[in-house]
Amino acid sequence: MDYFIELFFSGLTRGSIYALIALGYTMVYGIIGLINFAHGEIYMIGAFTAFIVATVLSVYGFPLVSIVIISGLAAVVWASSYGYTIEKIAYKPLRHAPRLSPLISAIGMSIFLQNYVLLAQTSDFLPFPTLFPDLEFMEPIAHIIGTTDVIILVTTIVVMVLLTLIIKFTKIGKAMRATAQDRTMATLVGINVNNVISATFIVGSGLAAIGGMLVAAHIGQINFYIGFLAGIKAFTAAVLGGIGSIPGAVLGSFVLGLTESFATGYVSSDYEDVFAFSLLVLILIFKPSGLLGRASNEKV
Amino acid sequence: MLELDKVQAGYGNKLAIKDVSLKVEDGEIITLIGANGAGKSTTLMTICNVVECRAGTIKFQDKEIHRMAPDAIVKMGLCQVPEGRHIFPQLSVKENLDMGAFLRNDKEAIKKDMDYVYSLFPILYKRRHQDGGNLSGGEQQMLAMSRALMAKPKLLLLDEPSMGLAPLVIRQIFEIIKQINKENNTTIFLVEQNANQALHIADRGYVMENGRITLSGPAQELLANTDIQKAYLGI
């Protein structure tokens, strides 16, 4: 039983991370109908920023709490500025182009960012400083769930609640929903659609950066390539839940995380991806629009 | 109030409207009638700069607006209810109205205006927590007009408000259009295929064919014109 619960929590942790990344995919898709393939790289850049800032601060002997807060903020701000800039450079000029063009531009952006970090940093795995020490009161249950897992889960839940409140009640949140539902009409009621799109990229990138920092701290190492697989997995989760739907992305992420965790635990970690993608294929066969996606008649 | 001078616009390499010149005076109800595909909706979209104005000038309150951003045009008090109503389907009725007041910050006045549109259309108050997409066609038209009113427009562009509605509902919508024009002194620019109804409430009218204005004059004169009677009124 303990083993089951342990796998369950490890699945939730994975799911949380996927959710933080998947939200960026699904929000951008909801608003401009683009799969932002560079999103995984934003996650990687967030992790790298946290890595650099945290390493420097720990050399100067800052207390751990301030290292976590400062490097987290730096990661969010830096990754968001990348997200904002990528949209302006690579997607905005192509907004009225055929759908394939921004997609190719996104793949190009992804490859560019990977190689840019490879050149600017190194191809080696770098050790990520320990940000979350094992807490003492966690001792009795440490064999089921680790401190980092708890921190990841709690952070994700707090971030999700905040995001939901923003989207539901603030002006920019309502503008995002309106723009996603009907861009022409959003323009006609006076919403500056360009600002809404920028805001979406900024929010999505910030979430991915938080995810990147948490994972890097959890695993304890980092390199330029970590964004690729994380991005693909999170994208899978977003499609699984119904791309364009925010609750769908969260649900899809947890389903994917739990599937992987149980497959690893009960079968073999070699089959982790096989189970994950088989699940995707199965769900898409029986529910093509995803778990919570709306069926649309859009012609592609 | 609004003045188009030799405006051209279109899609791809095709012009949908050619040398369109027209004028809307303060407080009027103006109607633009014409067949399907004549360029009526394109004219309205060009005024709001959703479709690019390729030549000519558009002036609103003596200011050139054809290079201004769409949201800046809304801010000047020029609002449109587009063809097909374009309700935000997954926003509630109230949220749809909130979006109409997107550029305003005067909370109390917004509240008052919301009460006003609820008094115009009590059914919207009853349905205020329902998703906009679940309303009937007539209710959606009411919501679309109310949403535009929430922006406190000086000039309201209405694109085919009668489309797909039952005759009784159409009559109600046209009554409200007249009422909005009188009570709030909102100038109305009405695009319609339903020429008969439109000309009956309008002060003046323009007739559009193949992207050009072919005829204009006081509504009563157009109603009496035998060509128009044959082509648009079915008499």
Q: What is the pLDDT of residues A75-131, one digit of tens each?
A: 999 999 999 999 999 999 998 889 899 999 999 999 999 999 999 988 888 888 888
Three-class SS of chain A:
CHHHHHHHHHHHHHHHHHHHHHHHHHHHHHHHCCCCCCHHHHHHHHHHHHHHHHHHHHHCCCCHHHHHHHHHHHHHHHHHHHHHHHHHHHHHHHCCCCCHHHHHHHHHHHHHHHHHHHHHCCCCCEECCCCCCCCHHHHHHCCCCCHHHHHHHHHHHHHHHHHHHHHHHCHHHHHHHHHHHCHHHHHHCCCCHHHHHHHHHHHHHHHHHHHHHHHHHHHCEECCCHHHHHHHHHHHHHHHHCCCCHHHHHHHHHHHHHHHHHHHHHHCHHHHHHHHHHHHHHHHHHCCCCCCCCCCCCCC
CB pairs under 8 A between A and B: 60
The pLDDT score that the predictor gives to residue A273 is 86
Distance CA A276, CA B140 (A): 43
Here the tokens at position B134 are 């679940």
Burial class of residue B216, CB neighbours in 10 A (0-12, 13-18, 19+):
middle
Q: The pTM is what?
A: 0.89
Closest residue of B to A191, CA-based? Answer: B71
Q: What is the pLDDT of residues A257-295, one digit of tens each?
A: 999 999 999 988 888 888 888 988 998 898 888 888 876
Tell me whether residues A185 and B82 touch, CB distance under 8 A: yes
Q: Domain residues of chain A, as ranges?
A: 13-227
Burial class of residue A214, CB neighbours in 10 A (0-12, 13-18, 19+):
buried
Chain A environment of B82 (Cβ under 8 Å): 184-185, 188
Tell me whether residues B69 and A192 touch, CB distance under 8 A: yes
Judged against a pLDDT cut of 50, whether residue A299 lies above it is answered with no
Encoded amino acid at A15, one letter: G
Judged by a CB distance cut-off of 8 A, whether residue B48 touches chain A is yes
> Phi/psi at B55 (nearest 5 deg)?
-155, 160
Domains by residue range for chain B, with CATH: 2-91+149-233 (3.40.50.300)
Judged against a pLDDT cut of 80, whether residue A11 lies above it is answered with yes
Q: What is the pLDDT along chain B (235 residues), one digit of tens a residue?
A: 899 999 999 888 888 999 999 999 999 999 999 888 889 999 999 999 999 999 999 999 999 998 899 999 999 999 999 998 899 999 999 999 999 999 988 889 999 999 999 998 999 999 999 999 999 888 999 999 999 999 999 999 999 998 888 888 899 899 999 999 998 889 999 999 888 889 989 999 999 999 999 989 998 888 888 888 888 777 6
Closest residue of B to A96, CA-based? Answer: B12
